[in-house]
Structure 1
Amino acid sequence: MVLTAEKKSLIWKTLNETRGKIEPAEYKNYIFGLMFYKFLSNKAQAWLNNQLHGESWENIWQQNPEKATRFMQNKLGYVIRPGDMFSDWQEKINTDQFNISNVSDAIVRFNQGVSPNAKPEFEGIFDDMDLTSNRLGSNTQTRTKTLMDWIGLIDKIEIDENTDVLGDLYEYLIGMFAANSGAKAGEFYTPHEVSDIMARILTAGREDMPEYSLYDPAMGSGSLLLTTASYMKNDGVRGAIKYYGQEVITTTYNLGRINLMMHGVEYNDIHIHNSDTLSSDWPDGVTDGVDNPRMFDAVMANPPYSLKWDNTNREDDPRFKSGVAPKSKADFAFLQHGLYHLKQDGRMAIVLPHGVLFRGAAEGRIRKQLLEENNISAVIGIPPKIFTNTGIPTIIMVLEKNRMEDDVLFIDASKGFEKQKNSNKLRNEDINKIVDTYLNRKDVDKYAHVANLDEIKENEYNLNIPRYVDTFEPEPPVDVDKLVSDMQETDTEIKQLNGEISSLMDDLVGADAVAQQQLDEIKGLFNEK
């Protein structure tokens, strides 16, 4: 089943009508939480239907709750008890037996029923649903009514249990909530068009790898991870693709975990942390008793731009061997962290502000070393107003750890977009042109240039795109003869119109002497022309 644009718009309209006074940034926590609980309930129910051969889950549970718990945990990583399914809530609503405690108690029992090896993926995932908040209502009765409305809404908008459809719906709603949540939207959302460019570049020529590891050190909603995985042949094969990520904001971290699982990623393929990437290096792994950094086939990131960070005592941190980024701008710190965790034959793509291309001091020294070690493969300038949280123009920088070539591909894609009401959007033809140009790696007039290291040295390691890609379009020459002819034709039309107006005014007569005098003065103006 395909989720059409019309269906998406209807869903968003319906959601807005039930939001009440709750801000979109907070409302999404309840909507996504309920969507996810229904997803987990339906997944559990579908598995039980295949396992129990007509026997009821309630009977199995009554016979031996401990054994029934292990039975579901071993497969799903969690257990939902009889009476706590989403469908049970609906039944209670239909029979006027529902209370908000049905939901709060079910969530408590869900948390208790998560298996130990699945706790990193499920623990606290519903914590952002504050069911005691006065925003839901001033008392238990009104809060119960609010939740009943939302449960009924979720039941109506969820199409089926196809993870492609659910994932598509979830991604769409993330985008809509981002667009309506102001500046903070950038904490969790990278537009799909940008994700698509990065994903296609990262996976080009590697789509058939039987196993693939992904890492996003500022993962937000996890959309970059999911989009990149979608281009792999083994996408959806359990154990073939491993998803790693880190996110400092807890609410966004929960959003990302939900997004991955709603797209059908199994819990034991997800390895994400709720922590500060720059202050505590992760991921790492223990091999033969020795703690070693973990390396990945692909690293992708859209970190917060020019973030202030604590850069004290970082000189001995192996991630920052090229230099320590200034405390007022963490852009290169995120880049270096990602590059450090890249495999020798891996590929990295990161969204950054233009300032990283030309700023001096510590950033200039870091940039110089990255260039001399051939780490920077491409610099792609994308249009302004692409992101919901900023209008500044940004770049996608592509890096590799063990390149032999010393050149850098510069692409100026800043003019290829469709203008919308308050933003710009990359079209399919814009995305295809960027990716094709990257893969072909050849000069394109007024669009792309491959610069060798000598040329970059001549520019003092400044990577500002206009230094390498000349997009200047000369003004067309003025046709003087046509200009004179147009002026004469316009003058003739003016005289003709003045004559017609003067003729019409001759028929006018003033109502009194003063009015007649004013009318004569106006007629005189037209007679002079």
Structure 2
Amino acid sequence: MALTSEREAMIWKTLNDTRGKIEPSEYKNYIFGVMFYKFLSEKAQAWLKGVLRGETWAAVWQQDSDKASEFMQRTLGYVIRPGDMFSDWVAAINEDKFNIMMVSDAMVHFDQGVSPEAKNDFAGIFADMDLTSSRLGANAQTRTATMMDWINLMNKIELDEDADVLGDLYEYLIGMFAANSGAKAGEFYTPHQVSDIMARILTAGRENLEEYSLYDPTMGSGSLLLTTASYMKNAGVRGAIKYYGQEWITTTYNLARMNLMMHKVEYNDINLRNADTLNSDWPDGVVDGVDNPRMFDAVMANPPYSQNWDNQNREDDPRFRFGVAPKSKADYAFLLHSLYHLKNDGRMAIVLPHGVLFRGGTEAKIRKKLFDNHNIVAIIGLPEKIFTNTGIPTIIMVLEKNRATDDVLFIDASKGFEKQKNSNKLRQRDIDKIVSTYLARKDLDKYAHVATMDEIHDNDYNLNIPRYVDTFEEEEPVDTAKLLESMKSVSDEERQLTAELKDMMADLVVTHPEDQQILDNLKGVLDYE
């Protein structure tokens, strides 16, 4: 059964009903952990069904557990022991034999069974599930009851042969948790509408490449990587697309690992790292004094905006040869890191605050070098309030390493959106217009302009979009005759109402001296008018 909006809403409501006192930002760690374990367990069972030829996994394990473990590791990269399957948990619940320690023990066994080659993909992936937390319940009995609710809910979600149901649900829930987690949502979520724009731009004309490498240095939950890959012809073909990403926050890094694998990306094609992108270069970079960075076909990023960073002693870092970004604003540091890892014929897209277009100092110098080097392809202004963690308007900047041309396409898409309760949302027609305008690369009245080098020179390298795209709408001329007629009508109506009010006041009978004084004052005002 495919994942419909009705099923999504039902699942989200049920999750909220079982959340209790746990904050959404923490609650997601448990839900995604159970969901991912179900995915791994069912993947293991499907594989075992095809290779055991009638034998049971328990019987094979009992004969030689070491050999059985190695047998599963070679293909899957992990091992789930007999009795630790998600279906074993469900069976125990149905037989009234389930205890939360079954989950705790399964997590320990899972970590022990990860193959050395898959350590980066699986090790510690369930570490954010604190099964002893009092927020799950005051004692083991109540924590067990809470876990049973989650397992029963996940058990209702069936895998579909034709659709990646768990992967789709995972993406949906990431968005819902982001919308309910306030500022913390920015740690892991880029709205799909923005991801879609970037992905279509990055892959345009390259969809048929047999091999394709992706890199997101601030990957969050990995959605940008997945959306970009989804436009490639060979998406889903083992070995065709290589996914590289880096994330500083461990919990978010775990979300990304789960997200990629639940979208059926093989662990052999995943190379993710839990580290600070700006602190030390990766992948590769300077090794033993030799600069040998790994390059990618596409680089995409939605880094934290204007973040503080340690910019000391960076002058010799080859990533920042165009300049070192200010300590209080790491925007250009993320941009230069991304550009550094781009292939000569690659393409990158990065989300940034508007300030990078016009701020002075070191940023102005970096901006000038990027322009003089013909790196900047396009600047796309997005509407405000489309990100869950900030209301500020942002841009997508598209860059390449070796361009023959030096012009820059400016698109002002800030006014194309659907207003929602507390946010704005890009509609499909808004997304399509942005992408088609980018691909056409032509002027479009009050929306897009291809600026020449001379124009940008004349603006002293200030790339603020209104300098290049005039969106001013002239107001319709005032019909003075109609306006005078309207004013005369209002004046006549006012005189009539005043006369009626005076007649009513003349009929009033006043019995108190203070009331008479108020009445006289009011008559004086009317006579003055």
State the TM-score, normalized to the length of structure 1: 0.94
Partner of 2:118: 118
Q: Would you say the 8 A contact 1:248–1:275 is kept in 2?
A: yes
Spell out the pairing of 1:414-453 with structure 2 (5 A cutoff).
Answer: 414-453=414-453
- Cα distance in 2, alignment partners of residues 97 and 286 from structure 1: 55
What is the alpha-carbon distance in structure 1 between the residues aligned to residue 488 and residue 164 of structure 2? 65
Matches within 5 A, 1:379-398: 379-398=379-398
2: CA distance between counterparts of 1:268 and 1:367?
38
Is 2:357 the counterpart of 1:353?
no
Counterpart position of 2:344: 344
CA distance in 2 between counterparts of 1:73 and 1:457 reads 59
Matched, 1:74 2:74: yes
Shift of 1:202: 0.3
One-letter code of the match for 1:140? Answer: A
User: 1:223 is aligned with what amino acid?
Assistant: S
Deviations 1:128-158 (A, max 9, x none): 0011111111221121111112211222345
Aligned-partner Cα distance in 1 for 2:327–2:268: 37
**Alpha-carbon contact 1:509-1:516 (below 8 Å) kept:** no
**Residues 499 and 526 in structure 1, CA contact (< 8 A), matched pair in contact too:** no
Aligned to 1:51: 51
Alignment check: 8 A CA contact 1:510 1:516 kept = no
Identical positions, percent: 73
User: What is the Cα deviation at residue 55 of structure 1?
Assistant: 2.4
TM-score (norm 2): 0.94
Retained in 2: the 8 A contact 1:239–1:269? yes
Native 8 Å contact 2:31 2:150 kept in 1: yes
Distance in 2 separating the partners of 1:163 and 1:128: 28
Quick one: which amino acid aligns to residue 446 of structure 2? K
Contact 1:510 1:519 survives alignment (8 Å): no
Matches within 5 A, 1:318-333: 318-333=318-333
Q: After superposition, where does 1:208-223 map in structure 2 within 5 Å? A: 208-223=208-223
Classify 1:510/1:93 alpha carbon distance in 2 versus 1 (closer, same or farther; 3 Å).
Answer: farther
SS at structure 2 position matched to 1:457: helix
The alpha carbon displacement at 1:52 in A equals 2.2
Q: CA 1:275 to 1:513, structure 2 compared with 1: closer, same or farther past 3 Å?
A: closer
Call closer, same or farther: CA 1:480–1:253 in 2, change over 3 Å: same
- The CA distance in 2 between the partners of 1:66 and 1:520, in whole Å, is 102
CA offsets 1:177-209 (integer angstroms, 9 cap, x no match): 111111111011000000011000000000000
The match for 1:63 is 63
Shift of 1:383: 0.8
SS at match of 2:40: helix
Match of 2:29 in 1: 29
Q: Which residue of 1 aligns with 2:131?
A: 131
| Shift in alpha-carbon separation, 1:500–1:56, aligned structure 2, 3 A | farther
| Equivalent residue, structure 2, for 1:168 | 168
Do 2:2 and 2:160's aligned partners in 1 also have CA atoms closer than 8 Å? no
* Structure 2: runs of 5 or more not aligned: none
| Alignment partners' CA distance in 1, 2:509 and 2:436 | 74
* 1:38-66 CA distance string (max 9 Å, x none): 01111111111222233221112112212
The match for 1:7 is 7
Does the 8 Å CA contact 1:358/1:462 hold for their aligned counterparts? Answer: yes
Who is 2:454 aligned against?
454
Matches of 1:393 and 1:513, distance apart in 2: 63
Equivalent residue for 1:313?
313
Q: Which amino acid aligns with 1:395?
A: I
Specify whether residues 22 and 517 from structure 1 end up closer, same or farther in structure 2 by C-alpha distance, changes over 3 A only: same
C-alpha deviation, 1:493, in angstroms: 4.3
Report if aligned partners of 1:502, 1:523 keep a CA contact under 8 Å in 2. Answer: no
Query: 2:9 and 2:517 mapped to 1: Cα distance?
Result: 60
Is the CA contact (8 Å cut-off) linking 1:11 and 1:157 kept in structure 2? Answer: no
* 1:103 matches 2:111: no
**1:489 counterpart residue number:** 489
Amino acid at match of 1:438: Y
Question: Contact between 1:41 and 1:85, CA under 8 Å: does it hold in 2?
Answer: yes
1:374 positional shift = 0.2
Instruction: Give me the whole-angstrom Cα distance separating, in 1, the residues matched to 2:340 and 2:516.
Output: 88
Q: How much does 1:494 deviate? A: 4.6
Mark the CA change 1:75 to 1:474 in structure 2 (over 3 Å): closer, same or farther: same
Q: Which string of whole-angstrom CA distances, capped at 9 and with x for unpartnered residues, describes residues 100-153 of structure 1? A: 110000010011111111111000000000111111112211211111122112
C-alpha distance after superposition, 1:305-327 (max 9, x if no partner): 11111111111111111111111
Structure 2 Cα separation of the partners of residues 181 and 70 of structure 1: 41
Q: Distance in 2 between matches of 1:35 and 1:383?
A: 34
In structure 2, distance between residues paired with 1:308 and 1:286: 24
CA shift at 1:525, angstroms? 8.7
Distance 1:47 1:502, change over 3 A: farther
User: Matched residues in 2 for 1:519 and 1:349: separation?
Assistant: 71
**Structure 2 counterpart SS, 1:106:** helix
Task: State the alpha-carbon separation in 1 of the partners of residues 236 and 157 from structure 2.
Answer: 24
1:411·1:434 contact (CA, 8 Å) conserved in 2?
A: yes
The 5-angstrom pairing of residues 167-316 of structure 1 reads 167-284=167-284, 292-316=292-316
Residue 18 of structure 1: SS of its match in structure 2?
A: helix
Cα pair 1:36 1:258 within 8 Å, conserved: yes
- The 3 A distance-change label for structure 1 pair 55 and 500 is farther
Per-residue CA deviation, residues 416-453 of structure 1 (Å, 9 max, x unaligned), is 11111111111111111111111111111111111111
**Any unmatched runs of 5+ in structure 1?**
none
Render the CA deviation track for 1:452-495: whole Å, top value 9, x for unaligned.
11111111111111111111112221111111222233344455
Q: Is 65-74 or 83-92 further displaced after alignment?
A: 65-74
Determine if contact 2:510/2:516 at 8 Å carries over to the other structure: no
Q: What secondary structure is seen at the aligned counterpart in 2 of 1:484?
A: helix
Task: Give aligned pairs, total.
Answer: 527
CA–CA separation in structure 1 for the residues paired with 2:229 and 2:507: 80
1:499-528 residue CA offsets vs partner (Å, 9 max, x unmatched): 77778x599875967799699869969996
